[in-house]
Amino acid sequence: MGKGNFRPLRVERRITRLGGNFSAENMLDEKAMLQTLATLQVFADILREERVEAVFAVATGVVREAKNGIEFIEKVWKETGISLRLISGEEEARLMLRGVLWSLRDQTPSRIVADIGGWSTEILWVQGNKPEKTRSIGLGALILCEKFLKSDPPELQELESLEKYTQGILKETREGLASGGLEFSGLDPYLVGTAGTMTTLAAIDLKLPAYDPQKINGCQISRPALEKIYLQLRSLPIRDRRMVPGLETGREDLIVAGAVVVLSILKVFHLEALLVIDSGLLEGVLLDGISGLS
């Protein structure tokens, strides 16, 4: 293992919903902060058990927007000893792409890469292995779920409103990229997707009884197949959605909004399918951190 690379020894992941019930005053919800702190304390205990010498941790999306974001970061340090680095949307996109390229070996002249988070979606126009343009837009699965999907299962009117809103934002994004020189005729037909929504859709498509990164990485899902998954998920109440093979626990209410974003990106950018990459922001942060070690 050379400098600037790594081999995973232990992987732990939790969905904490830090952006849940984000207030109109741009404040992180107290319950969401406590739940996230509790999870970070568990991680801090694991780090001590494993005698980890260097920790690279970042805060993104909703913490950038929150008026009490810095206060939360300070509280995390005080209670867990984990130092969070607040990064911009542009740096988040750069690190995400670095993590994606760690697994995505092939290069094409021009492609779209996307990461759907809870609070925002990062859209990158990539030329070869370099980000030509990046956009961080407010289309996170959590915020869209809370804003539009009030019924269980969602009502048709709610879904139509969500789709219209999402496609409107993405059309503005497309226009902005086009004004920056993006040639849509030369785009690779596959949307490269990373993070929880994308990997969950891949696990559902593969009907995985347990998450397997090796099977997820490189999974290709056609647009018709994604539409079929979306129609199935949106028709089910949450209690039944939990039984869908491959659906990650804790994502059963968010996956419908996330699927809308994926399908909307494909539609707006005239793409044919989704190529799922298991690595992303997490791996990008780690690669960036260890490459800076002396």
105-153 confidence digits (pLDDT tens): 776 778 899 999 888 898 988 887 788 888 888 898 988 998 999 999 9
Q: Give pLDDT, residue 94.
A: 85
Q: Do domains 1-86 and 102-281 have the same CATH topology?
A: yes
Please provide residue 86's backbone torsions phi and psi, each rounded to the nearest 5 degrees.
-80, 120
pLDDT given for residue 263 in this prediction:
97
| Max mean pLDDT range (73-82, 125-134, 203-212) | 73-82
CATH match of 1-86 with 3.30.420.40: yes
Which residues does 240 contact at the CB level (< 8 Å), separation at least 6?
Answer: none
At 2, is the pLDDT very low, low, confident or very high (cuts 50, 70, 90)?
Answer: very low
Say which CATH class 102-281 falls into. alpha beta
* 54-80: average pLDDT: 91
Please tell me the pTM assigned to this model. 0.82
Residue 290 has pLDDT above 70, yes or no: yes
Specify the higher pLDDT residue, 51 or 109: 51
Domain boundaries in the chain? 1-86, 102-281
Most confidently modeled of 15-29, 94-108, 228-242? 228-242
User: What local confidence, expressed as pLDDT, does residue 294 receive?
Assistant: 55
DSSP 116-147: E-SS-EEEEEEETTEEEEEEEES--HHHHHHH
Mean pLDDT taken over the chain: 89
Q: Please give the average per-residue pLDDT across 270-291, as a whole number.
A: 90
